[in-house]
Structure 1
Amino acid sequence: MREMLVALLAFGLVFAADAFYLPGVAPQDFKRKDVMYLKVNKLSSIKNQLPYEYYSLPYCRPEKIVQSAENLGEVLRGDRIENSLYQIQMRVDEQCKFLCRIDSLSSAQAKAFRLKIEDDYRDPGQPTCRDGENAQRRQEQFACKDIRARVSRRTDLARIVGFEVEPFSVKHEYEAPWDKASPVLNTCNPGRAISVTHDTPPQPVLEGTEAIFTYDVRFVASDIRWASRWDTYLLMIDDQIHWFSIINSVMIVLFLTGMVAVIMLRVLRRDISNYNQLESGEDAQEETGWKLVHGDVFRPPAAGSILASYVGTGVQLFGMALVTMIFALLGFLSPANRGGLMTAMLMMFVFMGMFAGYFSARLYKSFRGEEWKKTTLRTALLFPVASLQQKDGPGWWSLLVVTDLSWLWPYDVTSVACMQQKDGTKAGGHGSGPA
């Protein structure tokens, strides 16, 4: 009977393991012609640290902009995930599909577009322009208003395992008058994708010009497994080990260490020889050389409370990094869960406040300090309050979240430090040195 129960339990665990997925990263299957809605994010740049909303530029915008629900990590990163007009049907290819038309770019819109192009702004992964030979020669900016999407799907299941976007710029032409209901573009061929060549005129960013937005979609079969879909993005191109640089650095460190050791040994031998040559008791009482500072290592520092706060915060950061890396190695922090890494780091930082409070109290008590409450508050407030400056401008909601965290950190660190103060006092008392 027991063997049968064990066999049934093992059989059930097989299906449980096969069906186990972490929150937020479970696979989603699509049927043919199922609609997939693409979303847009903030505009960011490697040249400028100030992000902008996607619809701050004259892009095609829906009638009602809906912001997606974000987790704590996405809010603190300043993400702005919103809906768009891009719609893709599963396993349905599209060629030069019309998205929208902007009748005329105003002076402010054209200027904003040019400034974003010069600063290399992009909706993460998609640049706002393409620098071609014509742009370099004539010092013009061209808007990347057309995209070509390549969607990889599993051959056996309707799962998306890859998504590639190629932005390009084409100045579309049509026969007047403009038919808004069913527009027909002369630059588009419904049977094939647009071929961008040097003869294809790009879309200039000039005041008074119109802009027509289009996009292509192509589905391709792929053998990539669902669990391996992120390997392409996580692949390191330059993964060679630079042995020469490593050996060079090690040799320099060893050489400098040897030089310092030789100098220290010579000085110590000379001082020891001088001490051994003392003849009278009066000379023996005179402190020279190393004896002048031999007791300073046991004297408490002038700012022992601040030092204890620094040490406690260092323990807190080290514990946060260690636990976060362990969870990442175990696969709990998937790249598919946007903002999951930052959320986990913040939660671990709050949780590790107990160790920060304990070690700061223990170290401060080893200095025979009496103001342990101030040390505990300083440990809880010093670095969190100093790090509340948000330069990315994530908005009032992020500021509210950061404010809540600023209250959560001190509460956690202070409460646990107060609970551990008795143990910290005992541990610190045994470590006190002679004055």
Structure 2
Amino acid sequence: MGESVMRNSLKWLLSFLIVSQVHAFYIPGWSVKSYKEGEHIPLLVNKVYSDNTQLQYAYYDLPFVCPPTGKSHGPGLLSGQSISLNLGEVLRGDRIMTSDIDLTMGQDKECSFLCEQVVTRKDLRRAKELVREGYVVEWIVDNLPGATSFVTVDKSRKYYAAGFKLGFTDYSSSTGKPRYFLNNHHTIVIRYRSAPGRAGEKGGKVVVGFEVYTKSIGPNVKRENGCPVDLHEVEDRFELYMAPNKTTDFQTQYPHSSYHPEAIEEGDDDDTISIPYSYSVYFREDESIEWNRRWDLYFVNSEEGSRIHWLAIINSLIICGLLTGIVLMILAKTIRSDIKGYKEGSTLEDGKLRKGKSAKRSPKSEKAGLGLLERDGDVDKEVEVSSDDEALEDVTGWKLLHADVFRKPAYGHLLAPLVGSGMQLLFMAIGLVLLSAIGVLNPSFRGGFLSAGFGLFVFAGVFSGYFSARVYKTFDGKDFGKNALVTAFLFPGLLFGLVFILNLFVWAQASSTAIPFGTLIAIVLLWLCIQVPLVYLGSWYGFVRTGAWEHPTKTASIPRQVPNQAWYAKKLQSIFLAGLVPFAVIFIELLFVFQSVWQDKSGYYYVFGFLAVVLVILVLTVAEVTVVTIYIQLCSENYHWWWQSFFVGGGSAIWVFLYSIWYYFANLHISGFVSSMLFFVYSFMACCVYGLLTGTVGFLTAYAFVRRIYGAIKAD
């Protein structure tokens, strides 16, 4: 049996390793959009974001950029018009609108004047703050984010980093003080090639690259029609500086100084300054990039991490392999020999009892005929028990718990909804990883990951209700409707409450990270009108039509006293120690996930093939760790394993949260109270999701294991 289990496990792992090879595969879109010569290409503006903060802002909400004028860009398309967004885009803070920038296929523009935006001292302070915090801008052309172009270290390949800088910081050579400059000229490079199929035969072109190069041009540069006369020789840069409104100006006293004091903070807020904006457009044909591989440039630099991903896989396989060996040894050696020894001892003792009966011994010996597991300890003194049986009983202490091991736990009415929510999250996680690994969810499907995750979570409510009801009835629950409501509201209500409270703080910052009120209402309606009925339906089916799980042994009326436990078998110690093993399996891949979510917001996490393999190994590891831990606990004659199996399975969530705290102080440079609060609350929510998922895996695995071993000894 052990060899077949090992063989099947290896087959599954090899299959997922093969899947991991297609980590760069994706479905880039549902249709190819081609443009004819002279056709207008919309340029969409989205938001500004920074790696140093969790607050994002809609581009057109910034007071110092050119506002939309409502200019027509074709039938039914006006600048400033909002683009309809899916739920995932709204949740990730996207606010996409059409811009005034004119892109016409095949037509270069050396320089075009956009606007001259008049800003106040207050607006200039806002611009300075965003530049200081390293904000970058996201524009979109043909579903491609505007990118900053880089070259690999060996200069063999070019790659993209999504977004471009809003401005930059320089330091005075004389004082070392920072000076902040705004990028007010953008050079746009559109790379295109002939469209595939019939569209290409008719002269159609497809966009395969969108690059943006920035430049800061000062207000004193000589201009003609709003554009610099000599764009390529501009040396004067636009500094975010406004002289103080005083009779004695610093620059008047020190005209040759390269350092400006913090003058923006001084003076009347009604003082104004003009910021000129302009742009250039160049179309370049590039036949080296296939349309269906155009996103690869955003991932070239990330391919260097493939070796680390393989290291994570090997590390996980080694840990999982060792645990598999331990579990197989327990199942195939220890437990099997225990059960075999029990059967032999029971047979021997039954023979002695029968012999004692034939000799007409005292009626007191009839109690021994109940068997080893059902005796109350009052055995005839004439029946001798061999020393081998005594030693066997000492080693296999788990057999002594047959009358208590299935005793229903305290607060089982809470454990059942948690297990149900864990199954709901497990279904969602498996669906997301599989859809991402095969390429359905990919960076070109903007907001698709969050939208699909939310949809899977809502419709998985039926699984939540089903498993919750079965566990609830197993614990002798009576009111399945009450359990269904607790299941539908407990965990989702916690998440929604935290998100709503966070939203109040983010709303106060006027950030696009805040979820609009209408979206919150839509989420509540989906929750109450779809998920709650599905949870109730699943609960009804699990409680009424399916029923409780049957236990192989009966529970005694009087609970057994639990002896003192060894230090490593106590509740908290076992949770921490057991949780460290699954964390060791995922911590390398966790680094990439954290970097993608918190640090490289301009990048995209795309190696879902590797993630799928790690997820499978994680589930196996959690299951095996829980089996080993619960077996040790049962051998210590402690039958309180229901909650313990759930906490042991989810114990690695504690280590993940501790890791996130370390990551915050060691790798992030987040500034501001609200951003820090967002990081820790979102990390806490993610760890709750992870803990529920792995805790449910541990609970169900431990339950199957306990049923198996106690069912085996009863089979005699």
Give the Å deviation of 1:113.
Answer: 0.8
Counterpart in 1 of 2:295? 230
Match among 46, 49, 61 for residue 51 of structure 2: 46
Q: 1:333 is aligned with what amino acid? A: L
Deviations 1:87-139 (A, max 9, x none): 21111112232111124x31110111111112222223122112345599441
For 1:366 and 1:283, how far apart are their aligned partners in 2?
27
Is 1:307 matched with 2:342? no
Q: Structure 1 residues 70 and 374, CA, compared in 2 at 3 Å: closer, same or farther?
A: same
Deviations 1:124-182 (A, max 9, x none): 3122112345599441111122222221101454111111122232225455xx88xx3
Matched-pair contact (CA < 8 Å) for 2:112–2:278? yes
Deviations 1:337-385 (A, max 9, x none): 3222222222211222111111111121122221322221122112212
Counterpart in 1 of 2:64? 58
For 2:554 and 2:131, how far apart are their aligned partners in 1?
66
Which secondary structure state, in structure 2, belongs to the residue aligned with residue 323 of structure 1?
A: helix
Q: Structure 1 residues 257 and 39, CA, compared in 2 at 3 Å: closer, same or farther?
A: closer
Counterpart in 2 of 1:12? none
Counterpart in 2 of 1:7? none
Q: Which moved more, 1:139-148 or 1:227-236?
A: 227-236
Which secondary structure state, in structure 1, belongs to the residue aligned with residue 100 of structure 2?
A: strand
Is 1:217 matched with 2:281? yes
Match among 502, 519, 540 for residue 418 of structure 1: 540
Give the Å deviation of 1:253.
Answer: 8.0
Is 1:130 matched with 2:164? no
Is 1:140 matched with 2:145? no
For 1:30 and 1:153, how far apart are their aligned partners in 2?
10
For 1:259 and 1:71, how far apart are their aligned partners in 2?
48
Give the Å deviation of 1:328.
Answer: 3.1
Counterpart in 2 of 1:101? 116
Q: Structure 1 residues 92 and 365, CA, compared in 2 at 3 Å: closer, same or farther?
A: same
5 Å matches for 1:72-221?
A: 72-103=87-118, 105-124=119-138, 125-132=163-170, 137-155=176-194, 157-175=204-222, 182-188=225-231, 194=232, 200-207=235-242, 208-221=272-285
For normalisation by structure 1, the TM-score amounts to 0.77
Q: Which moved more, 1:415-424 or 1:405-414?
A: 415-424
Matched-pair contact (CA < 8 Å) for 1:173–1:185? no
Counterpart in 2 of 1:393? 514
Q: Structure 1 residues 69 and 422, CA, compared in 2 at 3 Å: closer, same or farther?
A: same
Percent identity between matched residues is 30
Matched-pair contact (CA < 8 Å) for 1:172–1:186? no
Matched pairs, number: 391
Q: Structure 1 residues 134 and 201, CA, compared in 2 at 3 Å: closer, same or farther?
A: farther
For 1:340 and 1:252, how far apart are their aligned partners in 2?
34
Q: 2:275 is aligned with what amino acid? A: A
For 1:138 and 1:210, how far apart are their aligned partners in 2?
25
Q: 2:277 is aligned with what amino acid? A: F
For 2:551 and 2:326, how far apart are their aligned partners in 1?
34
Q: Structure 1 residues 131 and 237, CA, compared in 2 at 3 Å: closer, same or farther?
A: farther
Give ranges in structure 2 of 5+ residues lacking alignment: 1-26, 71-79, 139-162, 195-199, 243-271, 347-364, 369-374, 380-392, 503-512, 556-716
Q: Structure 1 residues 26 and 195, CA, compared in 2 at 3 Å: closer, same or farther?
A: farther
Counterpart in 1 of 2:32? 27
Q: Which moved more, 1:217-226 or 1:253-262?
A: 253-262
Counterpart in 2 of 1:361? 469
Matched-pair contact (CA < 8 Å) for 2:227–2:278? no
Identify, as 1 or 2, the structure richer in helix. Answer: 2
Q: 1:212 is aligned with what amino acid? A: P
Matched-pair contact (CA < 8 Å) for 2:226–2:278? no
Counterpart in 2 of 1:3? none
Q: 1:403 is aligned with what amino acid? A: V
Matched-pair contact (CA < 8 Å) for 2:112–2:227? no
Matched-pair contact (CA < 8 Å) for 2:221–2:236? no
5 Å matches for 1:345-356?
A: 345-356=453-464
Q: Structure 1 residues 149 and 195, CA, compared in 2 at 3 Å: closer, same or farther?
A: farther
For 1:338 and 1:370, how far apart are their aligned partners in 2?
46
Q: 1:146 is aligned with what amino acid? A: H
Matched-pair contact (CA < 8 Å) for 1:121–1:127? yes
5 Å matches for 1:308-347?
A: 308-347=416-455
Q: Structure 1 residues 130 and 432, CA, compared in 2 at 3 Å: closer, same or farther?
A: farther
Q: Which moved more, 1:48-57 or 1:349-358?
A: 48-57
5 Å matches for 1:245-284?
A: 284=377
Which secondary structure state, in structure 1, belongs to the residue aligned with residue 181 of structure 2?
A: coil
Is 1:380 matched with 2:488? yes
For 1:149 and 1:343, how far apart are their aligned partners in 2?
31
For 2:516 and 2:401, how far apart are their aligned partners in 1?
54
Q: 1:401 is aligned with what amino acid? A: A
Which secondary structure state, in structure 1, belongs to the residue aligned with residue 307 of structure 2?
A: coil
Which secondary structure state, in structure 1, belongs to the residue aligned with residue 99 of structure 2?
A: strand
Matched-pair contact (CA < 8 Å) for 1:78–1:395? no
For 1:244 and 1:36, how far apart are their aligned partners in 2?
44
Q: 1:167 is aligned with what amino acid? A: T
Counterpart in 2 of 1:430? 550
Give ranges in structure 1 of 5+ residues lacking alignment: 1-21, 189-193
Q: 1:50 is aligned with what amino acid? A: L
Deviations 1:54-101 (A, max 9, x none): 222310111353221111221222211122221211111122321111
For 1:247 and 1:323, how far apart are their aligned partners in 2?
24
Give the Å deviation of 1:332.
Answer: 3.0
Deviations 1:239-294 (A, max 9, x none): 333477776777778889999999xx9xx99xx9xx99xxx999946999767756
Matched-pair contact (CA < 8 Å) for 1:299–1:433? no
Matched-pair contact (CA < 8 Å) for 2:484–2:539? yes
Q: Which moved more, 1:403-412 or 1:212-221?
A: 403-412
Give the Å deviation of 1:204.
Answer: 0.6
Q: Structure 1 residues 37 and 134, CA, compared in 2 at 3 Å: closer, same or farther?
A: farther
CA RMSD of aligned residues (A): 3.7
For 2:211 and 2:402, how far apart are their aligned partners in 1?
66
For 1:148 and 1:332, how far apart are their aligned partners in 2?
33
For 2:99 and 2:487, how far apart are their aligned partners in 1?
45
Q: Structure 1 residues 161 and 432, CA, compared in 2 at 3 Å: closer, same or farther?
A: farther
For 2:541 and 2:437, how far apart are their aligned partners in 1?
33
For 1:395 and 1:241, how far apart are their aligned partners in 2?
41
For 1:234 and 1:387, how far apart are their aligned partners in 2?
33
